[in-house]
Structure 1
């Protein structure tokens, strides 16, 4: 894959991370997403080339993991991705997260088929022809579902509604603590903007808490996602939440399961895909070996295989073949095991002449 050069006017031996990012975005991101974003910030201060494959190799992730991480941050609206007519990634625009009245100069990470420059867009005469072909990143637009800045009067009026007290009681029971004014405003957002019924909010809270998520930022993201999908009833939400992509069902089938995954099984699958960063073909290979090896505890068996592959630095299916060949080579050259040492074999072994012994016995 093409290498990407990044340039900046001033290089410093430090990387600045926005407080807003730490406060609002970092807690919901996974390991791969954080590594990719921090690495992009780091590389803005280095006169070095980068590539998707290079980032993947550096952090022992797949290229798909890197692309997924970039698209995650694009969805969070803290960066923009530029693609050419062939849908190849050619640019990354890191948005300014500071709250300054006058925005700081923005920086672009430009990707093309050759070595392309990432420059300070506030002004530089070093603009290559390839950089000129990259269009300016689109301006940030206001999402359809934006939580208003509710006033204290609006919050007080909401709390005084007859039906609100029961809803807040249910929410506090799920969360396990009294709600803060900010959290109450989020529930007001569910009813006022998303138009969720009390039953749907009840199911929303139950759904998130069962997955160990009590943070209202996470709950709000789920709610907005449901609203964007047109979900208006708990039944629709339940049907939507049980939908999994084709790869999940492929993994389930390879392990002899024909039903939707349980919470524990989905935990395994998420670990293999997100934490370990394996592609579906590698996971299916481990599942096939597990099914051939045992009829019970196949998920645990596959976990053992994939965990060992992760520790061995396996990223592609070809790596598995090399690991197998190395194992077989070591096995072939391993010396034969010594004779068993137990209480019957710890004594010196003698060689007897049974014909002489018989003659001696008969002569007595």
Structure 2
């Protein structure tokens, strides 16, 4: 396993653990994740090279355990992982938890290829020699323009905003309800999602309560799924639990029918849900027309039925199909074109009067090869 560079935002000549880490992140982490993070803090200013295999040996874990722990902390947005073109881990950027920002690092631990590079080392940077990899440049966090393209886009809430939300009087009850449904304490990321429901989607506590109940009853405790359902409700203009219940009943019935007609007996995946939403919202088809396309897809193929149905419905949309009678007219027109004979050229001989046959060339080739 290649050596990796480790660097952070701020520098301190000691091992310091942020109070915010202890308050917000430590309680949800497992043993391996905590060991890896604390070890990174300890080794940040030590003049020793580190590697994934070295960390694994240190704590009697596998390298996969170490990678999983690193990716967990990256998901929690307290560090960033740098990979080369071969997808090999070459750098770890520890973020400054006091701001949750990711500016260009000012103090790095660079892993260099030899003593010759020490002469050009910037001030405030510790150099560790005899590691055979190129110098790793500082992590650059791209900035994205603040365009309000999607009114239901989830903001990147800061820790100050999260802290302010948790300190509200009404929030404690809401978080208690959420934890009761999910069956575990909420992570900071999940709390930010609850904040998104109230701040951007403007959901009431009753509606959030019903949202969580609705998803958990269907076996869905993943907050990504819950967020997708919430955005769907917001797009439909749902503001009360009664509206949500009415919409869910209608939605569940139609989605189940579509899934069933395509040979699926499970809940739709995110990709399958994307297809169904496109057919109902973007194309504006009623359920009976969608079911017709799905049944034709199921008869035509055993694989990629959603994609096949998409092709049928897209062609019907372009043909301005709105009722099943329109589909019948298209079928009749196609059949007439298929059975129409080519116009006579006026000449009549034994070649033009010859009736062509339809051959199964694959079967013919197989028969020829067997002789």
TM class, shorter-length = 0.3 to 0.5
